[in-house]
Amino acid sequence: MAIKVLVVDDEAAAIDVLKYYIDMTPTLSLLATFTDSRQAIQYCMLHDVDLLLCDIEMPLMNGLEVAEKQLGKTAVIFTTAHTNYAVKAFELNIVDYLVKPISYERFLQAISKYKEQFPTSVDDHFFVKTGTKGHLERINIADIIHVEGARNYVTIYHGTTQTITLLNLKDLEQRLPARDFLRIQKSSIVAIKHISGTKGGSVLLTNGNLVVIGPTYKEQVAKVINSKLIN
């Protein structure tokens, strides 16, 4: 199940960065963004929010006040350009304190801290609709090798089988554990354990498929591969 995230910052550029990072992270789902912290509090009262990414120095109601109001309700990660609030912030039992500019790697570290503090159960399978009316097919997550999206359809390569279903790739991505799967281009996700090597600008999978690595994802893929590299 995806972690439901709310972003609060009075600077649009800062929100754009966090929106991009959230979109890059399969286990996160962005609910909404606010430049007005008071509106964010109202939203939290009406909706189920797991994690709040919040700036500190904001007009009307600052991030510390927001965190105090959400204490025991919603987890908070501060995203701020200022270091002088760190002590007060951690007194509020926040998850992490990110200082701008925030790198994607540092962002992921904060998300990992959230997952450690608030573990959730992970399903080992799910069901999808097939082309046959009334027929559902069980997909075991451990069997998935590669997932490929095309418009509103997704092809799931699992074991020696491939299943095509009417589904959005983003929705499926949120059901896959981030530690086990890696998006390598806009329309492709691969199981890390099924990467058998790289060839040029592509990833070679255990089923023989060769999937091109998208320019946006090259750095992320390289980090995963290099973490297993023996020099």
Q: Per residue in 125-176, pLDDT tens?
A: 889 998 788 889 999 999 999 999 998 899 999 999 999 999 989 888 878 8
The per-residue pLDDT for 173 is: 85
Same domain, 11 and 66: yes
Q: What is the CATH number of the domain that holds 219?
A: 2.40.50.1020
The per-residue pLDDT for 132 is: 80
Q: Determine contact, residues 47/31, Cβ cutoff 8 Å.
A: yes
Task: Indicate whether 231 belongs to any domain.
Answer: no
Same domain, 48 and 137: no
Q: What is the CATH number of the domain that holds 38?
A: 3.40.50.2300
For residue 44, pLDDT beyond 80: yes
Same domain, 165 and 77: no
The H-or-E segment that residue 76 falls in is: strand 75-80
Q: Residue 228 — very low, low, confident or very high, per pLDDT cuts 50/70/90?
A: confident
Q: Per residue in 64-121, pLDDT tens?
A: 999 999 887 899 999 999 999 999 898 998 999 999 999 999 999 999 999 888 876 5
Q: Per residue in 176-219, pLDDT tens?
A: 877 788 899 999 999 999 999 999 899 999 999 999 999 988 88
Same domain, 86 and 146: no
Q: What is the edge-to-edge ordering of all strands in the sheet holding 96-99?
A: 28-34, 3-8, 51-54, 75-80, 96-99
Same domain, 130 and 76: no
Q: Which domain holds residue 101?
A: 3-117
The H-or-E segment that residue 196 falls in is: strand 195-199
User: Of residues 10 and 176, which shows the higher confidence score?
Assistant: 10
Q: What is the edge-to-edge ordering of all strands in the sheet holding 210-212?
A: 195-199, 202-205, 210-212
Same domain, 110 and 208: no
The per-residue pLDDT for 120 is: 66
Last residue of a domain, one of 97, 117, 137: 117
Q: Region 23-50: what's the mean pLDDT? A: 91
The per-residue pLDDT for 163 is: 95
The per-residue pLDDT for 121 is: 54
The per-residue pLDDT for 72 is: 78
Rounded Cα distance between 190 and 161, Å, is 15
Number of domains in the chain: 2
Query: Residue 131: is it exposed, middle or buried by C-beta count within 10 angstroms (0-12/13-18/19+)?
Result: exposed
Task: Indicate whether 107 belongs to any domain.
Answer: yes
Same domain, 160 and 203: yes
Last residue of a domain, one of 83, 117, 151: 117
The per-residue pLDDT for 81 is: 94
Q: Region 41-57: what's the mean pLDDT? A: 93
